[in-house]
Structure 1
Amino acid sequence: MFKRRHTLGIGSKVREFVWPRMGFARLWRYMGHRLGRMQGTPYSIAAGFACGAAASFTPLIGFHFILAGLLAWAIRANILASAIGTAIGNPWTFPFIWLWTYKVGSWIVGSPESEAPPQLTFDMIVGIISGETLGQSLDLLLTMLVGGVLTGLAVWVLLYLPLSGMIHGYRARKIQRRAEAVARQTAEGRVS
């Protein structure tokens, strides 16, 4: 009943995943409507989304949902909004996030500026798994964690403030539209 009339091939499915036909603007508009319609106060929704975005800046891949949920729970924010906020960290943004957090972390920790971030190679992954390069990978993780926490705090503030205002505005417009509809129906009822 809800299937496509013409099934997509593998190439089309990959293209749709990488770049949706409807575009990313529609996706962000939908996310805005979804956040505005959520149950909870504007504080809890905006803070929850900001917690999810902040968690995406940590190098703890695979634990972003858990970390975002714990952060949201700790500050009494919306946990579902925190899960949506983790969408900030995705395959398109992670390379930039990781490079930024490494640079910030190396600046804070005191690593030399000229030191380039290590390139992730197959040999390095095998070394990390086998434990041979565990010291190097822990140094890298610590550097990125320091940079990620500081960047996450800044991202939390930068997202919370506008989102809270946007949700307040969204709900105020919704109340105004309902009041106008009731007034219009009342006026039509009196005229008839």
Structure 2
Amino acid sequence: MFQRKKKKPVSKVILNFIWPSIGWKRLLRFWMIRISRLPGSVYSISAGFACGAAISFTPFVGLHFILGALLAWCIRSNIVASAIGTAIGNPWTFPFIWTWTHNLGLWMGFDAERIVSNDDSISEIFFDKAYEAILNFDFILIGETIWPIIGPMLLGCLPTVIFVWFLFYFLIRALITYYRQSITENNIH
């Protein structure tokens, strides 16, 4: 009933995904209102969002939705909010997140001498060697090529996940409380 007569071309859809036509400020406001209208307590929604955002700082790409939902379920928070929170990890933020967690893991004392040689690029390791090693169940090659990168990231993501959880929990909690109070005040007057 409320569909377009002419569908948008795929190029417009992709461009709108990369750079929203409504603008970043309006998009963020839209998502904040959507999150605030989720059913549940302020704790449930903010803790769920924090779970999704925190899990986005782990190197388990492809499992963020599942791990975020599992963590949200464990602490009895909103699973839908955790799915929305995983949007913190996206193609724009992953390079920064991965660089941060990798360097933090090295700084925390991961064995830096096992890092990959300079002739191998990270994309070659992940997309060529890792794919080949996983398909062939070659655990020695996995240990030699993937572990020097994933290991520091796993170590570095531990304090980062805890910090990010608390950061987003208190941020989203304050925003939801403010939004719900303003709605209540508008309905009273």
Q: Output the TM-score relative to the length of structure 1.
A: 0.83
Root mean square deviation, CA, Å: 2.3
Structure 1 gap ranges (5+) = 181-192
Percent identity, please: 42
Superposed displacement of residue 108, structure 1: 1.3
CA contact (8 A) 2:104 2:156 kept: yes
1:187 match? none
1:54-80 CA distance string (max 9 Å, x none): 000001011000110111111111111
| Letter of the structure 1 residue corresponding to residue 142 of structure 2 | L
**Is 1:34 equivalent to 2:26 in the alignment?**
no
**Is 1:149 equivalent to 2:163 in the alignment?**
no
**Is 1:176 equivalent to 2:157 in the alignment?**
no
1:185 match? none
1:46-104 CA distance string (max 9 Å, x none): 11101000000001011000110111111111111000000101111111111111111
Higher Cα radius of gyration: 1
Superposed displacement of residue 125, structure 1: 2.6
Superposed displacement of residue 139, structure 1: 2.9
2:12 match? 12
Instruction: State the number of aligned residues.
Output: 179
Superposed displacement of residue 44, structure 1: 0.9
1:103 match? 103
Taking the aligned partners of 1:171 and 1:65, their CA distance within structure 2 comes to: 27
Once the two structures are superposed, the pairs formed by residues 40-51 of structure 1 within 5 Å of their partners are 40-51=40-51
Superposed displacement of residue 148, structure 1: 1.7
Taking the aligned partners of 2:41 and 2:151, their CA distance within structure 1 comes to: 36
Structure 2 gap ranges (5+) = none
Give the 3-state SS of the residue equivalent to 2:20 in structure 1: coil
Cα separation, partners in 2 of 1:172 and 1:121, compared to 1, 3 Å: closer
1:22 match? 22
Superposed displacement of residue 15, structure 1: 1.9
